[in-house]
DNA sequence: GTGCCTGTTACCTC
DNA sequence: AGAGGTAACAGGCA
């Protein structure tokens, strides 16, 4: 669920939440497997008394730089962070809770329990696995060309792989490929220069649009994305292809379709996105 | 109730 | 190397 634009929105809200300089007083874990590293007891004892110095994002990770260690949070499908001011019973899906020295609670809910928290003395042990930040200046055309040249995967699988580019998920990959007019099953090594140029533009475009609309919230159910403040994103109304099968393509008016690729629902316009290379 | 679907990732086998 | 399957999970939906 949360891809780069959603995580970025969450991080921005956390940054506006007056957390810098606040101390962690208490940690309660309701679902121990939320903690990836280290074990639960060490995680709790090491976290207590650390002060929040900085909050940032790398790929889909939320990065809390603390006085001693770094806390990484990956929300996977259904992880959510929010605050409340009074101690209360944990909700059905609350997995973890942190009490701060201003008596606020930072709570973590995760319906499907896939999210993971890491407390690391050196965050690079985890973050170095990630590929290029697609919104940073190192995401150059040349960098993308080099990555693509090294691979012969289907472009959709390639883009979903966080080791190449960090932060894209199913929604924004489908959107970027639609914008670049590339069929998701195309092999990376078959892409023309023109197509790589188009993709290099499309990726930041769809991500920036997602951030501008504060993320994509599909449906209204529990599992859907909302930010720290409980606000839903607005990007779902801007999507051009994701979950729009059967609807006319906004570019060519042909009917868009949904196929299965890399075990993921994959949406495309069969007229704009052909399997043959575009010169 | 049954079976299939879902926005992520890691790991396995072929 | 890379495609495909499965698993971790819970709930929505037909």
Average pLDDT over residues A32-40: 93
Tokens matching residue A14: 């956390």
| Catalytic residue (one of A60, A95, A126, A240) | A60
Round the average pLDDT of chain A to a whole number and report it.
Answer: 92
Q: What is the pLDDT of residues A50-94, one digit of tens each?
A: 999 999 999 999 999 999 999 999 999 899 999 989 888 888 899
Among all strands, which nt has the closest C1' to A4 (CA)? Answer: B7
pLDDT tens digits for range A226-266: 778 888 888 888 999 998 988 999 999 999 999 988 888 89
| Catalytic-role residue among A2, A123, A134, A184 | A2
pLDDT of A1 above 80: no
Higher-confidence residue of A27 and A279: namely A27
CA separation for the pair A49, A64 (Å, rounded): 14
Above 80 in pLDDT, residue A279? Answer: no
Contacts of A155 (CB under 8 A, 6+ apart): A177, A182, A183, A184, A185, A186, A187, A188, A191, A199
pLDDT of residue A236: 87
A48 has pLDDT over 90 = yes
Kindly state the average pLDDT of the residues A106-134. Answer: 93
Q: Which nucleotides of B are covered by protein (CB under 7 A)?
A: 5-10
- What pLDDT score does A211 carry? 94
Q: What pLDDT, on a 0 to 100 scale, did the predictor assign at position A216?
A: 87
- Mean pLDDT confidence for A166-182: 95
Output A223 or A151, whichever has higher pLDDT: A151
SS (H, E, C) A91-154: CCCEEEEEEECCCCEEEEEECCCCCEEEEECCCHHHHCCCCECCCCCCCCHHHHHHHHHCCCCE
Nearest to A60 by CA among A114, A140, A130, A13: A130
Beta bridge partners of A70: A65, A120
Angstrom CA distances, A66 to A18, A132, A143, stand at 14, 24, 32
- Whether residue A241 contacts residue A150, with contact meaning beta carbons closer than 8 Å, is answered with no
Query: In sequence order, which ranges of A182-247 are alpha helices (DSSP H)?
Result: 193-212
The C1' atom of C8 and the CA atom of A265 lie apart, in whole Å, by 20
Residue A233: strand pairing partners? none
Q: Which of A23, A28, A76, A264 is catalytic?
A: A264
Q: Which comes out higher in pLDDT, residue A128 or A218? A: A128
CA–CA distance, A60 with A44 (Å, rounded to integer): 23
Tens digit of pLDDT for each residue in A133-171? 999 999 999 999 999 998 989 999 999 999 999 999 999
Average pLDDT over every residue of A189-210? 95
Helix (H) or strand (E) holding A261: strand A257-261
Asked if residue A225 has pLDDT above 80, the reply is no
Active site residue A60: yes
Neighbours of A29 (CB within 10 A): 18
Q: Is the pLDDT of residue A103 over 80?
A: yes
Relative to beta strand A52-58, strand A61-66 is: antiparallel
Known active-site residue A3: yes
Q: Tell me what pLDDT residue A278 has.
A: 56
Q: How far apart are CA A229 and CA A106, in angstroms?
A: 12
Average pLDDT over residues A4-23: 95
């Amino acid at each position: 669920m949360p891809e780069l634009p959603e995580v970025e929105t969450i991080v921005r809200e956390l940054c506006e939440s007056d957390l810098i300089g606040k101390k962690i007083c208490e940690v309660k874990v309701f679902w121990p497997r939320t903690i990836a590293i280290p074990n639960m007891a060490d995680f709790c004892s090491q976290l207590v008394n650390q002060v929040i110095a900085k909050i940032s994002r790398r790929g889909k990770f939320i990065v809390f730089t603390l006085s001693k260690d770094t806390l990484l949070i990956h929300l996977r499908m259904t992880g959510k962070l929010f605050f409340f001011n009074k101690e209360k019973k944990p909700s059905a899906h609350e997995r973890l809770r942190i009490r701060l020295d201003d008596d606020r609670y930072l709570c973590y809910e995760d319906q499907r329990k896939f999210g993971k928290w890491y407390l690391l003395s050196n965050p690079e042990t985890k973050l170095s696995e990630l590929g290029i930040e697609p919104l940073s200046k190192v995401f150059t055309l040349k960098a993308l060309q080099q990555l693509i040249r090294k691979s012969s995967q289907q472009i959709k699988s390639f883009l979903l792989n966080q080791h190449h580019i960090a932060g894209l998920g199913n929604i924004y990959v489908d959107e970027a490929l639609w914008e670049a007019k590339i069929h998701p099953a195309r092999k990376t090594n078959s892409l023309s220069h023109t197509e790589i140029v188009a993709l290099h533009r499309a990726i930041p475009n769809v991500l920036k649009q997602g951030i501008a609309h504060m993320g994509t919230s599909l449906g209204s159910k529990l599992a859907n994305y909302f930010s720290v403040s409980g606000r839903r994103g607005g990007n779902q109304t801007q999507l051009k292809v994701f979950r729009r099968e059967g609807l006319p393509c906004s570019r060519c008016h042909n009917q868009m379709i949904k196929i299965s690729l890399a075990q993921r629902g994959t949406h495309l316009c069969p007229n704009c996105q052909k399997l043959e290379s575009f010169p």
